[in-house]
């Protein structure tokens, strides 16, 4: 399960490879991926790297050579699920009569993905430049989200919210969506989408925030 269907041995760049990838390297990468997937299910995405290494029967050095940073390991593990989410966008648009419904369903799917892998949502709020995971999400999913928004509330330049921002909003809303509390990430995300649909491209600049006048 969760086996990333890896092309037999794709030429890395465009250059001729000096040597072929070693067998143990390939084996370990797969073991790491499987171990991480297993550990993430039981301990959440915040599981210590050491745990994954141990589960895979591999040293710390190995894990960090294959995945230079924790985040990149997470990316690798969930890559194909993100792919599915990306493909679901156009599909929903084709299937659903009202593009608003397509957007709603896609958002719901996004939330479910984030919330199911507990802790995953947190990375969406990470620093823009840094986090590999954040970058991956955005690059792959933002265009899809934008397409849905285009169809549902019109083009970007009319003042509608950018897809990246909606995604990040939903991502943030999904944080802690499965702890004991009554917090319902899916519901909040749906309300956010409702706001986007209602407000559409009207763009009345919010409400300011001069509470000072009211505070006393």
Closest by CA to 53, choosing from 71, 72, 34, is: 34
Using CB under 8 A as the binding rule, the residues of this chain from 151 to 180 that contact a copy of itself are 161-162, 164-165, 168-169, 172-176, 179-180
Tell me whether residue 73 or residue 114 sits nearer to a copy of itself (CB atom).
114
CA gap 24, 43 in Å, rounded: 27
Is residue 155 within the footprint of DNA (CB under 7 A)?
no
85 binds a copy of itself (CB under 8 A): yes
- Distances in whole angstroms, Cα of residue 59 to Cα of each of 2, 53, 126: 22, 6, 27
Decide: residue 140, CB within 10 A, 0-12 exposed, 13-18 middle, 19+ buried. Answer: middle
Which of 18, 19, 22, 216 touches a copy of itself (CB under 8 A)?
216
| Residue 80 site contact among DNA, a copy of itself, none (CB < 5 to 8 Å, cut-off depends on kind) | none
Q: Which is nearer to a copy of itself, 61 or 180 (CB)?
A: 180
Task: By CB under 8 A, name the one of 3, 25, 154, 191 that touches a copy of itself.
Answer: 191
In the complex, the smallest distance separating the C-beta of residue 65 from a copy of itself, rounded to whole angstroms, is 30
Fill in the per-residue mask, 109 to 128: x = in contact with a copy of itself (CB under 8 A), - = not in contact: x-xx---------x--xxxx
48-67 residues near DNA, rule: CB under 7 A: 48-50, 57-62, 64-66
> How far, in Å, CA of 106 to CA of 147, rounded?
11
Task: In angstroms, give the least distance from the CB of 93 to a copy of itself.
Answer: 9
Q: What is the C-alpha to C-alpha distance for residues 114 and 40, in angstroms, rounded to an integer?
A: 13
User: What is the nearest approach in angstroms of a copy of itself to the Cβ of residue 104?
Assistant: 4
The contacts found for 30-35 with CB under 8 angstroms, 24 or more apart, are 30/3, 31/56, 31/57, 31/58, 32/56, 32/58, 32/62, 32/63, 32/66, 32/67, 32/73, 33/2, 33/3, 33/4, 33/76, 33/77, 34/2, 34/3
Residues near a copy of itself (CB under 8 A) are 84-85, 87-88, 91-92, 95, 101, 104-109, 111-112, 122, 125-129, 161-162, 164-165, 168-169, 172-176, 179-184, 186-188, 190-196, 198-199, 206-211, 213-216
């Amino acid at each position: 399960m969760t086996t990333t269907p890896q092309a037999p041995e794709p030429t890395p760049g465009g250059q001729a490879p000096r040597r072929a990838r070693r067998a143990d390297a390939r084996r370990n990468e797969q073991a790491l991926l499987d171990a991480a997937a297993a550990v993430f299910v039981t301990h959440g995405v915040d599981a210590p790297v050491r745990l994954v290494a141990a589960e895979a029967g591999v040293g710390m050095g190995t894990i960090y050579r294959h995945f230079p940073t924790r985040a990149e390991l997470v990316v690798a593990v969930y890559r194909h699920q993100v792919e599915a989410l990306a493909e679901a966008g156009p599909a929903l648009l084709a299937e659903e009569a009202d593009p608003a419904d397509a957007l709603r369903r896609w958002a719901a799917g996004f939330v479910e993905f984030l919330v199911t892998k507990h802790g995953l949502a947190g990375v969406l709020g990470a620093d823009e430049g840094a986090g590999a995971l954040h970058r991956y999400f955005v690059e792959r999913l933002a265009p899809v989200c934008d397409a849905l928004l285009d169809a549902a509330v019109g083009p970007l330049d009319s003042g509608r919210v950018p897809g990246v921002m909606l995604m990040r909003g939903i991502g943030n809303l999904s944080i802690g969506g499965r702890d004991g509390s009554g917090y319902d990430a899916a519901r909040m995300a749906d309300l956010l989408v409702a706001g986007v649909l209602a407000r559409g491209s009207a763009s009345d600049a919010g409400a300011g925030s001069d509470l000072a006048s009211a505070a006393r």
